[in-house]
Structure formats: structure tokens, C-alpha cells
A and B are shown apart, each in its own frame.
Chain A
Amino acid sequence: MEKCYLMTAVVLLGLTVRWTVSLNSYSGAGKPPMFGDYEAQRHWQEITINLPIKQWYFNGSDNNLQYWGLDYPPLTAYHSLLCAYVAKFINPDWIALHTSRGYESQAHKLFMRATVLIADLLIYIPAVVLYCCCLKEISTKKKIANALCILLYPGLILIDYGHFQYNSVSLGFALWGVLGVSYDWDLLGSLAFCLAINYKQMELYHSLPFFCFLLGKCFKKGLKGKGFVLLIKLACTVVASFILCWLPFFTEREQTLQVLRRLFPVDRGLFEDKVANIWCTFSVFLKIRDILPHHIQLMISFCFTFLSLLPACIKLTLHPSPRGFRFTLVSCALSFFLFSFQVHEKSILLVSLPVCLVLREIPFMSTWFLLVSTFSMLPLLLKDELLMPSVVTVIAFFIACATSFSIFEKTSEEELQLKSFSISVRKYFPCFTFLPRIIQHLYVGLLLPWPLPRSTGSGSAGPAAMAHGPSRSAACGIFLDRGMNPCPLHQQADSQPLCHQGSPEGHSFDSETSNLFIFIFIIT
């Protein structure tokens, strides 16, 4: 590639931004007794290096599961073990059993940050670069611009390098998976995706599109001939990679079950404190968590999730194409995020990754979504004292997107493929006809990362969204071939005539505001 040096510069810039963000505070810094995710990761290193593998997931005298017990799949544990070996080499105090709890020092912070950077550099960044280089039908410059935008996505940077997690590993593996299956390296792709699932169980959000896409490919090749062979090969790859990762835990039945119980803690409730999803928003009016029994909640969330992702998945199985695959990834991940059980606010990153992949195709909407997704994590970031880097990286990302893609062009109703939708809205809700004019004025404002002043109806968004529930899944199927296009019109439609009614449950205003934005995104 002739513009190789520009790509190098972009990668270096991405790395610089990552490292400068990492100079800031991390979650739970100096906050005993529980600290935060930083301590969790350090604690896992302590557990994995000091205890035999059989005790990793079990409560015991040396392993108190109440204190950041290991609740990620084995690959995370192995990664922790690897880091622990390095830590032991540098300073054994960092991972000493029991005594190292809550260990904090400048050198240790540096070490932990470096592990994130190295993991990122080895897995996520090469995947992004390769993905952008492999894009077809666009100029080299566009590819580089695309890579810049994806690498500067603030949500991932802030969570990994500010808050402290290793999301870039699982997301990176998932991206390698997407790359693999999109370019017909199906076996490698599914292997990479298996690694992603085995690193973080949340990657299951992406599993259905992978499954449907590969199944669709097999169907296309004919189930009696080549397709069947491919299916067998894929099945073998998946089973083999799972067995490989889980080998130490397959020795006893109880081991396997315990790990699974740790991975899927269904008893933890419908959602945790401030998540920008349907249940959290809905509970502003109706406290589902308290009214409904636990298993019913589970059932409801399962049904909703399943129904919402069904149309997209069926469509993908019938017409498998890389483009459709990317859009289905977005819609499925969003369905999981919005409706599934026990969602964490950081899970929005799982939606953001596929949205980054469609950035080139629907720049306006993707940019908007990515900004809002970062905004939805603001309470978390504020708790970690990351306001400054958040603001700076969000603005930087916005500038990068705005200059790389002409995001303000092609935003008319027709170009966003919302014509039929908006006509139907106007038909059923005549009072909305005056809105397009207002929208034109507000468009620019909407793109700003801080949508607080304008969206006044967050409190009432729940029922409005639910009202369109039935039409939504149908619309999913109808519009799918044209992409999952979100609807700014609808957002205005919901928010304009209403006014904010306070925060009855003490949820912070901003989390709800972004609720609105996020789930409007899916309702087309």
C-alpha cells in the first residue's frame, strides 16, 4: 500500500491517545475495601498463580468468591496467569496470596497499563488495521480515515485504559472472527470467535449472527454436498477449540458446572444500577424488579430478546452476505443489550464494535450512536474521575469522524431510508407533521455528544417505545436489506411533545437520556 506511512501514523496516534488516557485514574483507585475492576484483574492474577487450577472458580479459604471471584471464562484466567508470571518476575509482592489485596503503587499501575496496551497492540489493533485495509471499493485515504475513527472510538479507550479492563482482547478476537468469516476463511474465523467467547462470555451477544451467517453459507453451498462438509468442519473447529480451552475443567463434572454457574449468575437481577436499556428505563414507571418474580423476569427478558433478534437472523440465514452480517451483528448485539437479563453498562461496547464496522456505510448514524454510547457510560467514567479524558477523546473522535466522512451530508429522509417509516408515522400520528422543520434546525445539535438540553422526554420514552414494539420486529425484517437504519425523526417524535418529569428512582438524568437515544436507534 502506497500510503503505508499514513496508516502507521494513525496507529501510532491511536497508541499515543491510549497511553495518555492510561495516565489517568482507574476504577476503585484508593477506595478500600472493595476497590474496582483494576483490583479485580490484579486479584485474578493473584488467584491464578497461587492456587491450583481446580480451585480457581471455587469458594475456599484462599479464594473468597465474594471478593472479586473469577467470573470470566478460562481464557481470561489463562491471560491473568500469564500476566501474573510477568508480575512475579518484576515484583512478587504484586501477586502475593492474601497480602497483596488492594495493592497499589505507581510501578504496579504502570505494569497493569502496559499489559492492556500490549494485549491491545497484539490483538485488537492489527485486526482493525487489517479490516480497514481489506475494505473494498474505497480509496486508500478513506481506508486510513476509517481506521483512524475506529481506533479513536472513545468508549473502548476509556473503559480499557481509564476504567481498566481487557475488552480489546475479546473484541479483538471477535473482530478477527468477523474478518475471517467475511473473507471466506471460515474455519479461522470461527476459531477466533470461539476464543473471543472463551475470553468473555458477553461475546455470546455476537454469536447468533456468526451462527446464522455460517449456517447460511452452508445452505448456499448445498447441504448435501460442499455445504455439509463445511458444516462438519466448522462444528469440529468449534468443539475442538472449546475443548482445548476448557480441558482442565472437564476432568470433573462439578468443575464444569461451577465455572458455568460463575459465568452466568442468573440470580443477580434484571439489571444493575444504571444501564441504558429498556428494563432500566421501564422501571422508572413500573418497578418490574420488585413486582414480578425472578423466573418470570428471566422469561420475559428471554422472550423479548429472542423475538427482537429473530427477523434479522432469519434474514441472514436465508441471504448470507458480509454486509448483511455486519448489520445483523449490530441489531443482534443491540437486542441483547436492550432486552436481555443482567446487562452491564459496559456491554454497550459489544454493540459499538459492529457499529464501528458499519461506520463507512452509515456515517451519520454510526457516529451518533458511538458518541451516545460513550455518553451512556458517563456515570461510570465520572466515578473513576475520567471526565477530562472523556471529554477530550469524545471531541477528538467527533472531529475525526466529521472530517473523515461527510457525516452531515446524506441525512435527508430518503437517504436515511426512512421515507416509508416517516410516512407511516405521519399517518398514524398527524400531530407530528410539523416536526421535520424543527428537526432540520436541530440536526446539528443532535450530533453533539451532550444531548441533555434538547431531549426533554426521557422519562416518558419507555411507553412510547413499547408502543412501537410490535412494529419494530416486523420492521427489522423489512428494512434489513437496507441496513438497520435508525430514526432521528422518531427520536424527535418521542421527545418533543413531552417534558421531563424528574427522576423518580434516583436514576441519573443522563443515563435515561441516553436510554432514549439508544433504543430509539433500534426502533425502525
Chain B
Amino acid sequence: MAALGVATGGGNWFSALALGVTLLKCLLIPTYHSTDFEVHRNWLAITHSLPISQWYYEATSEWTLDYPPFFAWFEYALSHVAKYFDQEMLNVRNLNYCSSRTLLFQRFSVIFTDTLFVYAVHECCKCIDGKKAGRELTEKPKFILSVLLLWNFGLLIVDHIHFQYNGFLSGLMLLSIARLFQKRHMEGAFLFAVLLHFKHIYLYVAPAYGVYLLRSYCFTANKPDGSIRWNSFSFLRLISLGLIVFLVSALSLGPFLALNQLPQVFSRLFPFKRGLCHAYWAPNFWALYSALDKVLSVIGLELKFLDPSKIPKASMTSGLVQQFQHTVLPSVTPLATLICTLIAILPSIFCLWFKPQGPRGFLRCLILCALSSFMFGWHVHEKAILLAVLPMSLLSVGKAGDASIFLILTTTGHYSLFPLLFTAPELPIKILLMLLFTIYSISSLKTLFRKEKPLFNWMETFYLLGLGPLEVFCEFVFPFTSWKLKYPFIPLLLTSVYCAVGITYAWFKLYVSVLTDPPVGKTKKQ
């Protein structure tokens, strides 16, 4: 992929990269797609054939509309193109409908909306400084960054195989980050407000936005030592920011407020009735916690500390979203996870407030927010790791330390997505693409920072290399052993626990680097 742009000196390497990946996406059209495909088809049908008042009440299909209104409007807009492809897919009662035209339309809608992502990447590439620009194109940070973002393994498999619309949503986020880097704060705030009403998972990173805009935009000046200058507060800026957020929210939620449906909308958006962990465990703190619980209960049973009749039978990994009781350790409630998340986020927010480091500091805080909520959130999807991986790419080309964290986070995070694709024809694709991305990212960043200390110490190298044997065991050895029927959940459990270790480590390392970094304010005064 990299060589696509090798020989070209000018700007068309970027379009070659973007076009190349678009073509690859087109080749992925006939691959397996998950139930999310039906989810989005159903939403197309709901928004197309029902009045707005019915959107958040309709429940013919089990896949009810549970994204904020802008996404519903987005589906509504798509449905007006969809009707030229196949009218039948817009029928609410046509459950699990999948004609070849429907498939083509849905796949192309993802590919097409990804143009926003491509544009956002283009804007992001402008923001990073080209100080380290090497002689050769393939060694320039811009080139590496655009490959890391455009050819991101996670986005490719989640959007174009598994089927979702993360591409353009991530595009919106990257674009708003880019606008903040370019000092176009209002635009950035607007884009983020819009994004929030597309998919509310981005609420996790909202604290970073709020604090950054308040601290570095509403306060127009700092004291010489970098601390806040209270009298520089600009009410005008605060009000205009507030106005933007208010108007966007009014546009989105207003109609439902008028229909008196807000509680129903919110109950759909925040389904706390779901379990702590998703269908299989996302590699976060709770995966480690549950694994520890399982180990303890097995030990307890062996040593007769526990009474087998009192142990609840519900298995976490049976594949259904359900409530789960821990056996030894205390069970976790939504409130507990919320508190844990807040506590985890707080230090980074404090850091952003007391040690402002410009857009870069904001970006670090945003990643920490995303990662912390991934670590401790309630009912986290493994796909949510993309929320941290994509912005982290921006950091990775700037500093060797960040590159090292990025590589650990990305490699483990991407590996944890493997169970999403479990069908045989997709097995080579996911392995090949993963290898492609991992080898490229590690080698190119190593080349970029070859003058500094090695990116990994022996422990990290060992850990990353361990992913190989793990994959071999889970996909090629385990299915042929006798445990397959007795303990079908072992590969999933191993994958998420192993990846949870890596992600926790990356999160911890990033936190340490943020907290111990000297404030930039002292060296770079305004």
C-alpha cells in the first residue's frame, strides 16, 4: 500500500492512498456481514416508512433505533437513495431482508460516506508539524499518519466487513480535532456537537472538549508560569460556544421535545438493562475482574470454600447480552462503573485544566477519556477501542514515547477485534490485513524514530509476539481439541484477558506520561 505513493513526489500520493483503500473496500463487499447490517436496514425502513413520532417507539424488529436523532435523519436521507436500489428493504416488516441490491447499496453507503473521513485525515495531516521530514516520502510523518489512519485495520474490518458507519463518525471527530489544532475553535465545537447527536458514545470524550474549550478558548491568556489568568475570561466566547451547542441540540432533540417523547428517546439511548460486558468481553478492566472472579470461583470449588449449588449458572460468554452475577467478588452495578469511569477520567481533566499544553494536551486528554471509559464503562463494545486508536495515531508520529504506546494499544486493540469475524472465508482476510497494518505501523514508526531509543523493551516485545501463538491456539489448535464442546468460551476468554493486559498497560503508560510531562507553558509562552 505504501508503495502506491512511493514514486510520486507531489500531493497525489495522498489520493493514491485514499483511492487504493477505497478500492480495497469495494473488494470487501461480498464478505460476511453481521447483524448490524440488519440493524441499519431496519433503521432505514423505520425512518423511511414511519412518521417521526413513531421512530423511537417502533419495535417490530428487535433492533430498535437506539442512536440519537441525527443518525436517524442520516438514515432517513440514505433511504431516499435506497429506494432507487430496492424498495423492499424499506419495509419495516421485511425482517432480515438482504437482496444483492440491498447489500450493494448498504456497502456503498459506507464507502461513500467515508469520503468525509478521507477529508478529515487530509486536514489532520496538515496539522502535524513536518519538522522531522526525512528525505524520502515514505519516511515523512504525514505519509505515515495518512497510512495509519486511512488504512486502519479496525475501521476496515468493523465498517466494511462487520458493517457499521464508524468511518464518517470518526471523520467528524478527527475533523473537529483538526479544527481545534487550526485554532478554529467554534467550528470544532460545532462539529463535535453534531457528532454527539450522531452517536452518543462520544459523550465519553466530551469532558475533554468542554474543559479544553473553557480553559484555552474562553480564557484568552495565561500567567507567565502557565497558570490561569482569571480576568482574561471572555463571556462572549462562552456564550457563543453555548449557543452553538444549544442550537445543535435543539435541532436534534427539539422535535422530540415538542412531541413529548424525550424520556422515550433517552431510554432507548441509554439501555442500562444490558449487562456489564457485551456479548463477549471487551478487553477492559472488567474482563480482568471477571476473569479473576472465575479463577477464584474455580479455586473455591476445588478447595470446597464455595457451595456449588449457590453458584449462578449464567455464563457470561454464552453469546447473549444478559445480566451477570459475579460469584466471589462483588457484582458490579452501573453506578459503580460510572463512578470508576469518572474517577479514572478526573486526573486527565485536572491535568488539562492546570497544565494546559495547547491542542496536543487536549488530544492526550481526549485519548485518556476515551481509554478510561473503555476501561471502566458499562456494557462496553470491543469496537469502542477505535475511539482511542484513531486520535492516538495523530500523537504517534510526534514523539517516540507516544509511538510506543500507540503501537501497543493499536496492536492489542485490533487483535481484540478478531472474534468479530469468526467465519472461515474471512479468516485469511483478517490475518492478512492485521499483519499488513501491524508490520507497516511498527516498521514505519521504527524508521521514523530510529535515532531515539528503541520503541519497545523486552517485555513489550515479548507480549506483542505472544499474540501470534495466541491466534494460532485460538483459531487453529483449539477447534480440534476436545475442549471445544465443553468450554467453547475459552478462546474468547483468552483473547479478551490477554488483550486487556495490553490495553491496561498502554492506558497506564499514557497516564504516567501525561502526568509526569513538564508543562509546555514554561517553554512556549504566548
Contacts and interface: CB of A to CB of B under 8 A. Distances in A.
B276 to A, nearest CB: 36
B41 to A, nearest CB: 21
A15 interface: yes
B470 interface: no
A21 interface: yes
A122 interface: no
A10 B424 contact: no
Contact of A5 (B4, B19, B440): B440
Interface string A379-410: 00000000011001101100110011110000
B136 A141 contact: yes
Interface string A124-165: 000000000000000001101101100000000000000000
Main secondary structure, interface of B, reads helix
Contact of B12 (A9, A107, A400, A403): A403
Contacts of B433: 16
B13 interface: yes
Nearest to A25: B30
B26 interface: yes
B7 A12 contact: no
Contacts of A110: 424-425
Given A9-B1, A148-B4, A399-B16, A16 B138 contact: no
Interface string B418-435: 000000110011001101
Contact of A16 (B13, B432, B439, B440): B432
Interface in B23-62: 23-24, 26-31
A412 interface: no
B344 to A, nearest CB: 36
B6 A17 contact: no
Contacts of B6: 6, 141-142, 144-145, 403-404
A15 B432 contact: yes
Contact of A12 (B4, B31, B432): B432
Nearest to B19: A399
Contact of B138 (A17, A141, A405): A141
Contacts of A5: 439-440, 443-444
Contacts of A24: 30
B320 interface: no
B3 A141 contact: yes
Most buried by B among A9, A24, A106, A388: A9
B442 to A, nearest CB: 8
Contact of B429 (A19, A148, A400, A403): A19
A144 B1 CA distance: 10
A396 B439 contact: no
Given A20-B24, A23-B31, A404 B7 contact: yes
Nearest to B16: A403
Contacts of A406: 7
A145 B137 CA distance: 13
Contacts of A404: 3-4, 6-7
Contacts of B429: 16, 19-20
B401 interface: no
Given A19-B428, A142-B7, A145-B7, A6 B2 contact: yes
Interface in B277-305: none
Contact of B425 (A23, A141, A399): A23
Interface of A: 3-6, 8-10, 12-13, 15-17, 19-21, 23-24, 106-107, 110, 117, 141-142, 144-145, 147-148, 388-389, 392-393, 395-396, 399-400, 403-406
22 contacts: A5-B440, A6-B3, A10-B2, A10-B3, A12-B435, A13-B1, A15-B428, A16-B429, A20-B24, A20-B28, A23-B425, A142-B6, A142-B7, A144-B6, A145-B7, A392-B27, A396-B23, A399-B20, A400-B4, A403-B5, A403-B6, A403-B7
